[in-house]
Amino acid sequence: MENDEVEKMSLADHLTDLRKRLVRACIAIGIGFFACYYYKDWLFDIITRPLTAVLPKNSYLIYTGLTEAFFVYMKLAIFSSLIITSPFVLYQIWKFIAPGLLPDEKKYVVPFVISSSLLFIGGVLFGYFVALPPAFEFFVSFNSKYLQAMIAFSDYLSLFVTFLLGFGLSFELPVFMFFLAKLGIVNAKMLSKQRRYAILVIFVVAAILTPSPDALSQALMAIPLMFLYEVSIFVTKFVEKNKAARANKEE
């Protein structure tokens, strides 16, 4: 039974550990920031490609304030650093919550970091390659000889970051459900029973997060989320089986 005890920590210990994890995460993000800022022009080309690919010939992104370009490049570097350092940041999150887990649950640290990182980065890449191009093509389609697009890079970057972060975080649904199942808040039967309502919520979220109002862009986000919801049910069943096995072992 000693091996199944949860590590005891005081509130002060938790706060100290939280500060340590935050400092390490911030240092990693800071190092990533300087590296990304050094390659800012290369990152600029990558990030603006979904838009520049559909803009009319001889079109440009603009900035209207004297310091605007500098601060936009900084935001670009921060966003890129968050993507690059996400595995390390997720590892720090896991190490913070690990003391509250049982010893046999702590072995999930590697699967957690790998799956969380792959899901987040996968969501970002899906948004970049699949969802953004048709959305931007829709918006640029209003360009005509009477109406010319003059897009500020700051506006574009805000939309780009919000959209891709929305995809990245929404793809973390199975991991989120894993922890809810561990806390006993959800179970596989509940998720299966509420599937039709979940699908409705998914389409509402897709309508909010997608920049384009057309049905195609919303479906491109909703379909993978529905698949991830089914994966979440499987993950929840896995958690329930582990809990049942542990309860039988204790008896």
What six digits make up the tokens of 65? 């304030």
Judgement on whether residues 194 and 220 belong to the same structural domain of the protein: yes
Judgement on whether residues 161 and 181 belong to the same structural domain of the protein: no
CB neighbour list of residue 30: distance below 8 Å, 6 or more residues apart: 81
Are the C-beta atoms of residues 115 and 175 closer than 8 Å to each other?
A: yes
Helices 215-250, 153-170: axis angle to 10 degrees equals 40
What pLDDT does residue 41 have? 93
Judgement on whether residues 231 and 215 belong to the same structural domain of the protein: yes
Pick the residue with more confidence: 57 or 195? 195
Q: Write the DSSP symbol of residue 145.
A: S
pLDDT, the chain, mean: 85
* pLDDT-derived band at 1, boundaries 50, 70, 90: very low
Judgement on whether residues 106 and 167 belong to the same structural domain of the protein: yes
* pLDDT-derived band at 6, boundaries 50, 70, 90: low
Tally Cβ neighbours within 10 Å of residue 99: 14
Q: Write the DSSP symbol of residue 98.
A: G
Strand extents, DSSP E, the chain: 61-62, 151-152
For residues 151 and 146, what is the distance between their CA atoms, to the nearest angstrom?
A: 16
Judgement on whether residues 87 and 97 belong to the same structural domain of the protein: yes
Among the candidates 135, 153, 171, a domain finishes at 171
Judgement on whether residues 131 and 226 belong to the same structural domain of the protein: no
Among the candidates 123, 138, 171, a domain finishes at 171
What pLDDT does residue 8 have? 66
What domain range includes position 243?
173-251
Task: Fill in the amino acid letter for 195.
Answer: R
Judgement on whether residues 153 and 196 belong to the same structural domain of the protein: no
Judgement on whether residues 155 and 180 belong to the same structural domain of the protein: no
Specify the number of domains making up the chain.
2
Most confident of 3-7, 95-99, 140-144, 192-196: 192-196
Judgement on whether residues 30 and 104 belong to the same structural domain of the protein: yes
pLDDT in tens, 170-222: 899 998 898 888 878 888 999 999 999 999 998 888 887 776 666 777 787 88
CB neighbour list of residue 144: distance below 8 Å, 6 or more residues apart: none
Judgement on whether residues 153 and 225 belong to the same structural domain of the protein: no
Judgement on whether residues 189 and 151 belong to the same structural domain of the protein: no
Q: What is the pTM of this model?
A: 0.80
pLDDT in tens, 144-174: 888 888 899 999 998 888 888 888 888 999 9
Are the C-beta atoms of residues 99 and 6 closer than 8 Å to each other?
A: yes
Whose tokens are 């953004």? That residue is 132
Percent helix, strand, coil in the chain, to 5, is 80, 0, 20
Report CA-CA distances (Å) from 213 to 56, 89, 189, 193. Answer: 21, 34, 34, 30
Compute the average pLDDT of residues 91-110.
77
Are the C-beta atoms of residues 175 and 233 closer than 8 Å to each other?
A: no
Among the candidates 125, 145, 171, a domain finishes at 171
Judgement on whether residues 27 and 123 belong to the same structural domain of the protein: yes
